[in-house]
A and B are shown apart, each in its own frame.
Chain A
Amino acid sequence: MSVVVVGAGPAGVRAVERLVEAGIRPIWIEESPDGGGRVFQKPPPGFSRDAKALYGADASRAAAIHATVARLRAQVDWRPGTLVWNLRPGPRLLNTQGPDGTKAEVAYDRVILCTGAMDRALPIPGWTKPGVTGLGAAQIALKAQGLAIGRQVALCGTGPLLLLLAWQLTKAGAPPALVLESAGWARTLRAAPGLAWNPVGALRGLAWRAALRRRGVRIRTGALPLRVEGTDKVEALVWRDARGEHRTEVDGVAIGYGLKPETQLADLAGVPFSFDGLQRLWLPERDRAGRTAVPGVYLAGDGASIGGSVVAELAGTRAALAVIEDAGGHVDPLETDMIHRRLWLEARFRAALERAFPYPAEHAAAMPDETLLCRCEAITAGELRGTDAPEVNRGKAFTRIGMGRCQGRVCGPAGAEVLAAARGCDIRDVGRLRGQMPVKPVVMA
């Protein structure tokens, strides 16, 4: 039996670990040069910063994940630096591109997709200027190479990542000049009872906030970025809160409103998707073990639905158990039951987080006409509104939105908000972009 695990973040690591324990030697494919995922991003060789500085309170989990990757590499067919750019469910084949550009076909009987997540963008006028990055991207720059994106940086976003990054930058000696949290206190308080499902996580958020305030970092809640100003680089951020419109001089802006699962391979596999009203995203359907309706295809981690690294580790283990079980192996029902209980608890906390820190959908829907919605093809929100497209695929056909390098991975969700608002219909009714291979650009020859 050929088992393939795609991704070596927390979900992939725990999936492979469990498969190896069961005597399986999976093919393990990872797009980046090393394991750990974006959450436990390692510095490149030659860089040294201690784990405590890099990962804070999660240092021990990061160390455990890295140690597990190091231990497992010899026990599997480890293929780092390798992109899976297509999945064909009929013949059960993956198409890959190795570090030197060579293409290969990888056959699978069962594949666990642990494809992770990316920043969820909120296009605003000026967001394509040099000096604007995603919130997660700014965090990776810090974790990987100890880089801050500027000297006077504004962070715009919502939820745990926003305050975490603010705190990490502050500790690294580069406190942000401005932190704009889109959610207001009222919302956070209403969600407070749900957040109590994970008291440690909830208290951590409060502790970061208090510590940032002590260091004099300016945090504004219920605040949203309006536009980035500057001629050929970032010079200022214009934003608003309940008190009105403000302009702050900055040289770097990071924008990220939560994360978005990388669901392209699940889509190519033909996994049915349904709309998740809380995350306001189309997500692949799976059972609590990660099984999908497509034979041999399993999903785990943030690549299926945003749950964070703790959930990803649990879901990775669970999906591996499902593979073992479906292949006729023995699985301890106590172990699966324990995982289900923990996943249930985490899901409660996650739902409360989503309620407390929602994607600012109305703000996205109302973006000014001149906003470059699709940055690959330079299509404005006004151009999309100007079509009579009833759904996003026709919007793509009419305007080229989502036809560029990112294939709609960046602009897709915001574009759907714009189109739905322009049509005056529910976001569900404008659908989602049909997946096409290659899921990321591949070298031709």
Chain B
Amino acid sequence: MKQALIIGGGLHGLSTALHLARRGGWRVRVLERRHVGRHSSGVNAGGVRRLGRDLREVGLSVIAAEMWDNLPRIVGDDGGFRPFGQIKLAESDADIAKLEARQAATHARGWTHEEMIDRDEVLRLLPAVSGHVRGAMIVRGDGSANPMRTVMAFRRAAQEAGVEIIEGIAVNGIGTTGSGTLVVETDRGPMQADRVANCAGAWASGLAAGIGEHIPTNAKASMMIVTERLPFFCLPTVGSAARALSFKQSEVGTVVIGGGHQGANDIATETSSQNLMNLAKAARIAAEIFPIVAGARIIRSWTGIEARTPDEVPVIGESGVMPGLFHSFGYSGHGFQLCPAAGAAVAELMAQGSTNMPVAELSPARFQQKAAA
């Protein structure tokens, strides 16, 4: 039996482990420093979105969307996925033009999930939206899910597939033996494997740097604020073409407002905290677009730490300096939806060295070329 070690018990690590274990012939162990889903996997905004993605990752996202529709068959639970659509609002004529150009670009590549809708349709779907809205782009099959429930479903499914999840173990470095086997150095001693996946989120580029591979990322701590429960007024997840906003009403009636407004984070202590000015900005934008929330009360807020790459798309592929090591990190604030498909792609790369999944443009090689040039 071949040995695989997955570093990081977030969603991408769990999904990779699950898919690899299901191939058969692999003993898969997940090494998690704290506990499964501790950082952004368990506390992200839960957006299940193809809408508006970078063209390099749309292909993977489209595959992931099909997997989300079939999630109960894949992990035994739907992760709380509610396919009520994702909408990007146009608040001006310039926004309309921007969205139309975007739609043309995805259609030119053969993807038709993004649809332009007029003001009447926006008002039909979002009766509470402010009257200044001009139109929108929508992906009707997108939606949102429950991150912690999704993490737990992947954990359970992985364990049932034979994956061993070890929590509370810290990885300090990766090396190789003379015979080419990989060695993961942990605080409980070295562990050997034929293949290793680096799914360590905000801490992954540090591990890569430890073997001399430079993949630049910085840490990101997107903030979310939550209001008290309000009467139901909004089913889709809503964003804006020109402004940083992610807005949705959860299944219990609370309104979750995010949009990439950044809090402070500390990689060393694994903590993040909220930046009040940015939070106030998010709240103001939300109230302008949905006047109904202007008087609502905020009851809590949170942040989670993850990695952001310079070009804001993830790093998926084999290490340029250590064959047998595969990177999967740097999802830059939008990796939740990708996790079923990304895990399948990384597992395939680990098992057979190649994949038909559309991840070629996400290879870590893009940074080495830059470093060389």
Contacts and interface: CB of A to CB of B under 8 A. Distances in A.
Genuine A/B complex: yes
Interface of A: 86, 88, 95, 103, 105, 377, 394, 397-398, 400, 403-405, 407, 436-438, 441-445
Interface stretch (B60-68, B280-288, B336-344): B280-288
Contacts of B296: 443-444
A87 B180 CA distance: 53
B35 A442 contact: no
B42 A444 contact: no
A438 B283 CA distance: 14
B148 A436 contact: no
B295 A444 contact: yes
Interface in B77-125: none
B298 interface: yes
Nearest to B287: A445
Interface stretch (B208-216, B299-307, B318-326): B299-307
Contacts, number: 56
Contact of B284 (A88, A105, A436, A445): A445
Given A377-B252, A436-B301, A444-B227, A397 B148 contact: yes
A125 B276 CA distance: 39
B302 A441 contact: no
15 contacts: A88-B276, A103-B280, A377-B252, A397-B37, A403-B300, A407-B300, A436-B302, A438-B298, A438-B299, A438-B300, A441-B297, A441-B299, A444-B286, A444-B294, A445-B283
A444 B283 contact: yes
B295 A445 contact: yes
A377 B294 CA distance: 23
B152 interface: yes
Contacts of B35: 394
Interface in B270-286: 273-274, 276, 280, 283-284, 286
Nearest to A402: B300
A444 B299 contact: no
A438 B300 CA distance: 6
Contacts of A405: 228, 299
Given A436-B300, A438-B300, A442-B297, 10 more contacts: A86-B276, A88-B273, A103-B280, A403-B226, A404-B299, A407-B299, A407-B300, A444-B283, A444-B297, A445-B287
Contacts of B294: 444-445
Nearest to A390: B35
A441 B226 CA distance: 10
Interface string B13-46: 0000000000000000000000101000011000
Nearest to B288: A445
Contacts of B274: 437
Nearest to A268: B273
B279 to A, nearest CB: 9
A372 to B, nearest CB: 15
A403 B252 CA distance: 11
B293 interface: yes
A105 B273 CA distance: 17
Contacts of B287: 444-445
A394 B273 CA distance: 19
A178 to B, nearest CB: 35
A397 B34 CA distance: 15
Nearest to A399: B148
B64 to A, nearest CB: 23
Nearest to B226: A403
Nearest to A442: B298
Contacts of A103: 280
Contacts of B37: 397
Given A377-B252, A405-B228, A438-B300, A443 B295 contact: yes
B295 A437 contact: no
A438 B152 contact: no
B227 to A, nearest CB: 7
A441 B295 contact: no
A199 B224 CA distance: 53
Contacts of A444: 227, 283, 286-287, 293-298
Given A444-B287, A445-B283, A397 B42 contact: yes
Point out which of A88, A397, A404, A442 has the most chain B C-beta atoms below 10 A from its C-beta. A397
Given A95-B276, A438-B300, A442-B297, A398 B148 contact: yes
A442 B300 CA distance: 9
A305 B157 CA distance: 45
Contacts of B152: 398
Contacts of B299: 404-405, 407, 438, 441
A442 B227 CA distance: 9
CB-based closest 9 A-B pairs: A441-B297, A445-B294, A441-B299, A445-B287, A444-B283, A397-B148, A444-B296, A442-B298, A405-B299
Nearest to B151: A397
A441 B43 CA distance: 20
A377 B300 CA distance: 13
A402 B283 CA distance: 23
